[in-house]
Amino acid sequence: MEQFKTFNVVGARPNMMKMAPVMAEMRRHAELHPVLVHTGQHYDFSMSQVFLDQLKLGEPDYNLNVGSGTHHAQTAQILEKFGELVRAERPDMILVAGDVNSTMACALVGAKELIPVAHVEAGLRSFDRTMPEEINRIVADAVSDLLFTTEQSGTDNLLREGVAEGKIVFAGNAMIDSVVAALEQARRSPMVGQLGLEAGKYILVTLHRPSNVDQPQNLQPALQAILEIAREHAMPAVFPVHPRTQSRIAGLEISGIQEWDNRSRLSGGGIWLMPPASYLDFLSLMDKAAMVITDSGGVQEETTYLGVPCLTYRDNTERPVTVEYGSNHLVGANPEALIATAREVLRKPRAVHRTPPLWDGHAAERIVAAVIEFFRRRQPAAQYASIDAAKSR
């Protein structure tokens, strides 16, 4: 039987939840040979290995170890190293996920090497080109051959940009597949108890967008507002800190922000910093929170699925379905609005939220079915070989 080799790319933390269910589903099909390639964009144990383990991705077949750098340096390294690997191994397809630098760079390599590219979580648009992720999304989508959308807005955006309808598959949300698969286990995580927290009586915080954390004049008022919310509602605000944010907070002087020391029980009225949480621990922290304050894309989706109120500290979202259907409130990067929205959300009983269409735990099945269909319909592999031979002449 002919086997199709795919390169499934992960680079940064949020790629893992999207690629894990796709990898697992591909492994169930004998005609597919999925190869896991990690660019190494994220490399700390807490940002990478623990996710590979908990999401059962296994050890990557290749790790390119690109590490950190400016966007240009990091992207260039991925292009060079992934390009070399792709030229040597000639996969039949490259699958990328999300909107990080690794997504964009690996999609570009595929396009240049005339290897079909599939983008998981295509079409999302914040319409804000100051966000590095927006550039990554636009470029990845422009060079992809199969575009898997998670919500109707994604499909609409792609059609408006002139992407052929036949390339777009509304597959649903693969990240939610991971939540569905892990939720029961996450609910057994001892994390909330270990921190001394009570379900429904704490606020969970994540902030890592450059626009919010890189400048003290933006980060300081955001943290002051969160402190004020914690004090007003006598709840601890738990903040697993992304490495990008860690160094920025260290430079600020705000009283009421404390490091969790692994022993103390968290009390109300303050911000408690802790190291980045594992996937299962974070899921359990989200699930039991009274409210989440975030600037992450994935957290807006996960809280929507869980029905937990989410206050998004950004001026835009590329995931409008989370506001339309879900429990997400787009607050703006505005401290006063954050305090006011928190007051409103915590005062009112929780509204009933709907789960967006096809966020049902089966997105990966639809994605893989479409990949197999693509291979069945595509030109014979020999054509790619002859293109390759022509290029090396």
The binding site for ligand UD1 (CB under 6 A) comprises: 12-14, 41-44, 47, 68, 99-101, 132-133, 208, 242-244
Q: State the minimum distance, in angstroms, from the CB of residue 119 to ligand UD1.
A: 15
> At closest approach, how far in Å is the CB of 247 from ligand UD1?
7
Query: CA-CA distance, 323 to 149, in Å (whole number)?
Result: 17
Structure tokens of 258? Answer: 């404390």
Nearer Cβ to ligand UD1 (47/143): 47
Q: State in angstroms the smallest separation of the CB of 15 from ligand UD1.
A: 9
Beta carbon of residue 130, minimum distance to ligand UD1 (angstroms, whole number):
12
Least distance from ligand UD1 to the Cβ atom of residue 78, Å: 10
The residues near 64 (Cβ < 8 Å, ≥ 6 apart) are 37, 38, 39, 40, 77, 78, 81, 82, 85
Residue number, 25 or 303, with CB nearest to ligand UD1: 303
Nearer to ligand UD1, 47 or 138 (CB): 47
Catalytic residue chosen out of the listed positions 42, 208, 242, 329: 208
Judged by beta carbon, residue 154 or residue 270, the one nearer ligand UD1 is 154
Q: Measured from the CB atom, is 100 or 237 closer to ligand UD1?
A: 100
Q: Which is nearer to ligand UD1, 243 or 268 (CB)?
A: 243
Of the candidates 282, 309, 319, the residue with the CA atom closest to the CA atom of residue 182? 282
User: Which one, of 85, 29, 43, lies nearest residue 62 by Cα?
Assistant: 85
Backbone angles phi, psi at 149, to 5 degrees: -100, 155
Residue 208 annotated as catalytic = yes
Closest to ligand UD1 by CB, 25 or 99: 99
Angle between helices 297-306 and 13-27 (to 10 degrees): 60
Q: Closest distance between ligand UD1 and the C-beta of residue 329, in Å?
A: 20
Q: How far is CA 61 from CA 35, 262, 334, in A?
A: 6, 35, 44
Give the nearest distance from C-beta 27 to ligand UD1 in angstroms: 25
The set of catalytic residues is 208
